[in-house]
Amino acid sequence: MALDPVAYRPYEDPDDFIREVTDRIWVGRDISYIVDNYEPDSIVHTSLGTVVGRDGVIEGSTMRMGSTPQHIGQAEDVVWEARGDDAFLSSHLVFSADEHLVDGKNVRIRKRTIPNCLYRRGRMVEEWVVRDELADCLQCGQDPDEAARALRFQGWTGSMLDAPPKDVLAEGVSGPRPDDYRPECEMVLEFIDEVWTQRRLQKVNDFMARDLFLHTIGDRTVIRPERYQRDLLAMVGPFPDARFEVRDVQTNYAERYAGLRVAVMWTMQGTYRGNPEFGPLTGRPVTVLGMSQFLIQGGRIVKEVRVYDEIALRAQINSTRSEGAGVDANIY
């Protein structure tokens, strides 16, 4: 699918566009550029809820920068794919290495963020963003439960409430997509269904290389199929009926990023009635918004980067308890 340069002007391509725009706002601190970059009625879905309108993005960005003045991040990967001839969807993996002042000492914080951004004719239309806030808590020495109690899950609106696409390889929540790298995409979708949802954990070896890497929340790296299985069981253990739904897919081949990557936006829906990892069980359903980027080589998955917000998940669980939890806060 040919992409008209109007989709990413004045930059070289969508990869360059995403890198430069993000640096201008978040490294150069040009918050006012959001006015030029986002549509007035743009929609941003975060792990704590949906922000509607550009003004909310400006306010949220101002608060986030003010709370982390030493923050700096850079693109670890940009998986972009056309959405028609004047738009693209990007999965932008951002790695940040910051210093926070905690009890008078500088503490180094490593974390990853993935925003999925739908740009049409060079303007942000809709965004889905997840951050590894667990890494922030653990490295600052903060109790994740305490951090979650300070937040309120405000709920989603718009596309987050729509049913998942019937054929996500034809059309994701961001719109119709090109039929690129179908065998690899089908392999990733089969992997998520069989291993993640159906818990056929022994089939990890059928889809993933022996020397696999999983970079996941809490700034953790998991290696080898056996440890991948254990990590997945720890993730779904509190939600034994967990089911995963894929809401969008994009692919991109680039040598600078080691080849073919398949980016997936997913939700996990489950009932908090299993292992009590997040306090007393509630028996109530929750939904987790997550992003994964899979690196494919030789027809197998050799690396996954998975990001979701466990602190927001804890806040969501708190919101299902009779006493409620948290206060209204910046959800961007």
Residue with tokens 């993996």: 93
Other C-beta atoms closer than 10 Å to the C-beta of 211 total 10
Note whether 112 and 218 are within 8 A (CB): no
Q: Is the dihedral of CA 166, 170, 174, 180 positive or negative?
A: positive
Confidence bin at 66 (pLDDT 50/70/90): confident
105-130 confidence digits (pLDDT tens): 778 889 999 999 999 999 999 999 99
133-183 confidence digits (pLDDT tens): 999 999 989 999 999 999 999 999 999 999 999 999 999 999 999 999 999
7-59 confidence digits (pLDDT tens): 999 999 999 999 999 999 998 999 999 999 999 999 999 999 999 999 999 99
